[in-house]
Amino acid sequence: MKKQHHPSQFIWLKRAAVKGSSLPMNARRWVYIKTALAALALIWTLVILVLVFSPTKYESKWTLILPGAGAGALISLDSIGQATSTNTSPYSSSAIDPRENYKALSMSNSLLNTAAKTAEIPSNLMGKPKLTLPNQTGLMQFSISSTTAQAAQNKAWAHYRSLQSLLSQLRADETQQRENGVKIGLDSFANKVSSSQHKILSFQSQTGLVSLDQFKELALTIERLRHSKVNMVSKRQGLLASQKMLETHLSLTPKQAADLLKLKNDQIYQQLLVIYTQATTSLAEYSGRYGKKHPQVMTQAHQQDALFQALRKRCNILLGYQDDVLMLKLSADDIDGRAQLMRQLLSTTTEAEGLNQEINSLSAQIAEWNIRLENSNDDAAKLGDLNREHQLATAVFTSALAKLDIGKADIYSAYPLIQLLSPPSLPAKPNKLSTILALLGGIVASIFSLAGLSMLWIRKPILQKILMT
């Protein structure tokens, strides 16, 4: 069994705290004075030892800044595609401060070891720099100490260069990984471009349709033919109107006009016509003077009939038929210019017939071209789909290539640029902070010691008053 302690056993503690020792006042005063002197001597001995044996520290300071603005780039390739590269501000995200990332890198053991090698000092002597990140700024304020001013500055430069070197390595690695990711897709994109191009070439060789421009030209050709046909039809209508007017004026058909011109151009017929005209005139003159049985009238009538029969015979030879009314419509002198009008009628009729033949030919061509156009509709649609597929594949492939090239230049996307705002300083005098802290610690310790002894000195009346109540 455990031995239980009765509260009466701690009465001596109460008595010692309240009544203290039984020393006289003067003796008790000397005990407190000696204790105070011993405490002060111990405290300041320690302070002096710290001041004596603490090495002198020189502190070099430098400041880095992260620019807040971002850069951007846009490449547009006509009819192919585009690639965009944009570096936004490193502070655009409220959840991540790039300075904290850089702080972790600055304090990492790997960077400190690299900085020690750069400064050509042992790793244990490098030490970690102090880093301050002022709010609402892009500043990073570094400081590092050493036993000499030059050594402190060398360590600062070594740390800065090591940080920049580490960031360059990280950027290169990030760019390489991104490039490898894009290259994985490039082979697939290149295969799609090659496949789509092969489909187009194969389709062109099978159908003979080289491009959509060829299909458009086919449609334009039909429109041009139709336009020409409309013009020719309009011109033919004008010629037919002229022909109708001449036929009405001459009271002749185009065939009759042609036959009359053939008779007019025959010299024998023209001579017979002239003699017949003269005989007819003489007969009319004699008939007016003499009676029908007069010898001269009868002679002239027989002569006229003989000439008329000669005209009929000649007309039959020239035209293959005889028409008494038609052959007498031709005058010997052609005073009224009927021959010219008949030629104009023949010319108009011939031109109208020629236009009619051309219109028929154009109609046949238009029908043929329409058949070709209808047969090419599906081919053109298929070729358009193949061209769009090839253009899309080419755009994706080209954009990937452009993105790959732009990505090589975009090295600050993951690790923003840092600039040296103020270079590492060469301290002109040692850092007095350790001395100030040691002296301040001694003063505070002395005050606390004297305050403690003072409270012990006046504790009896205070405790007695508390306990008595």
Confidence of residue 450 (pLDDT cuts 50, 70, 90): confident
Residue 221, amino acid: T
> Do 171 and 414 form a contact (C-beta atoms < 8 A)?
yes
pLDDT at 157: 94
Claim to verify: residue 316 and residue 356 sit in the same structural domain: yes
Number of structural domains found in the chain: 3
Share of the chain above pLDDT 90, in %: 12
Looking at the predicted structure, is the pLDDT value of residue 82 above 70? no
Does pLDDT of 210 surpass 60? Answer: no
Q: Percent of the chain at pLDDT above 70?
A: 75
Average pLDDT of the chain?
Answer: 77
Look-up: residue for tokens 């070891």?
Answer: 113
**Average pLDDT of 222-244?**
84
Domain membership of residue 236 as a residue range = 217-382
Residue 50 belongs to a domain: yes
Instruction: Tell whether 388 is covered by a domain.
Output: no
Arithmetic mean of pLDDT, 38-52: 84
pLDDT at 11 exceeding the cut of 60: no
Q: How confident is the model at residue 12 (pLDDT cuts 50, 70, 90)?
A: very low
Which of 110-124, 270-284, 323-337 has the least mean pLDDT? 323-337
CA atoms within 13 A on the CB side of 100: 7
> Looking at the structure, do residues 227 and 248 belong to the same domain, yes or no?
yes
Model confidence at 3, pLDDT cuts 50, 70, 90, reads: very low
Domain assignment present for 402: no
Are 327 and 451 part of one and the same domain? no
pLDDT at site 238? 85
Tell me: do 360 and 440 sit in the same domain.
no
Instruction: Give the distance from CA 173 to its chain's centroid.
Output: 28
Q: Is the pLDDT of residue 159 over 90?
A: yes
User: Which pLDDT belongs to residue 249?
Assistant: 73
Neighbours of 87 (CB within 10 A): 16
The predicted-structure confidence for 372-390, as pLDDT tens digits, reads as follows 777 666 766 776 777 788 7
Top-confidence range, 41-55, 121-135, 352-366: 121-135
Is residue 195 one of the residues assigned to a domain? no
**CA-to-CA dists, residue 107 to 102, 110, 159, 246, angstroms:** 9, 9, 10, 113
User: Alpha carbon 331 to chain centroid distance?
Assistant: 86
pLDDT, average across residues 76-104:
64
Q: Same domain for 68 and 52?
A: no
For residue 3 the two structure tokens come to 């031995």
Mean pLDDT of 440-461: 81
| 197 touches 204 (CB < 8 A) | no
99 and 68 share a domain? Answer: yes
Task: Indicate whether 198 belongs to any domain.
Answer: no
- How far apart CA 130 and CA 237 sit, in angstroms, is 104
Say what the alpha-carbon torsion angle 383, 384, 390, 391 is, to the nearest 10 degrees.
150
The three state secondary structure string of the chain is: CCCCCCHHHHHHHHHHHHHCCCCCHHHHHHHHHHHHHHHHHHHHHHHHHHHHHCCCCEEEEEEEECCCCCCEEEEEECCCEEEEEECCCCCCCCCCCHHHHHHHHHCCHHHHHHHHHHHCCCHHHCCCCEEECCCCCCEEEEEEEECCHHHHHHHHHHHHHHHHHHHHHHHHHHHHHHHHHHHHHHHHHHHHHHHHHHHHHHHHHHHCCCCHHHHHHHHHHHHHHHHHHHHHHHHHHHHHHHHHHHHHHHCCCHHHHHHHHHHHCCHHHHHHHHHHHHHHHHHHHHHHHCCCCCHHHHHHHHHHHHHHHHHHHHHHHHHCCCCHHHHHCCCCCCCCCHHHHHHHHHHHHHHHHHHHHHHHHHHHHHHHHHHHHHHHHHHHHHHHHHHHHHHHHHHHHHHHHHHHHHHHHCCCCCCCCCEEEECCCCCCCCCCHHHHHHHHHHHHHHHHHHHHHHHHHCHHHHHHHHHHC
- Residue 395 in any domain: the answer is no
- Other CB atoms within a 10 A radius of the CB of residue 370 amount to 15
d(CA 447, CA 457): 15
Q: Sorting pLDDT into bands at 50, 70 and 90, what band is 94?
A: low
Looking at the structure, tell me whether residues 77 and 135 fall in a common domain.
Answer: yes
Section 282-310 average pLDDT: 80
Verify that 123 and 233 share a domain, yes or no. no
For residue 1, being part of any structural domain is answered with: no
**143 or 205: which leads in pLDDT:** 143
CB atoms within 10 A of CB 162: 23
Please give the Cα distance from 42 to 430 (Å, whole number).
Answer: 27
166-208 pLDDT per residue, tens: 999 998 888 888 777 777 777 777 787 877 777 776 766 666 6
Q: What is the CA radius of gyration of the chain?
A: 64
Q: Are residues 323 and 251 in the same domain?
A: yes
Sign, CA dihedral 457-462-463-464, equals: positive
Residues 177 and 302 occupy one common structural domain = no
- The per-residue pLDDT for range 235-264, each reduced to its tens digit, is 888 888 887 887 777 777 777 777 777 777
Tokens of 420: 């040296």
Q: Within this chain, do residues 173 and 263 fall inside the same structural domain, yes or no?
A: no
| Residues 69 and 171 grouped into a single domain | yes
Question: How many CA atoms, within 13 angstroms, populate the side-chain half-sphere of residue 204?
Answer: 15
pTM: 0.48
276 alpha carbon, distance to own chain's centre: 96
Do the beta carbons of residue 129 and residue 59 sit within 8 Å? no
pLDDT of residue 158: 93
Range 412-435 average pLDDT:
81
**Is the residue at 207 inside a domain?**
no
What distance in Å separates the CA atoms of residue 355 and residue 236, rounded to the nearest whole number? Answer: 6
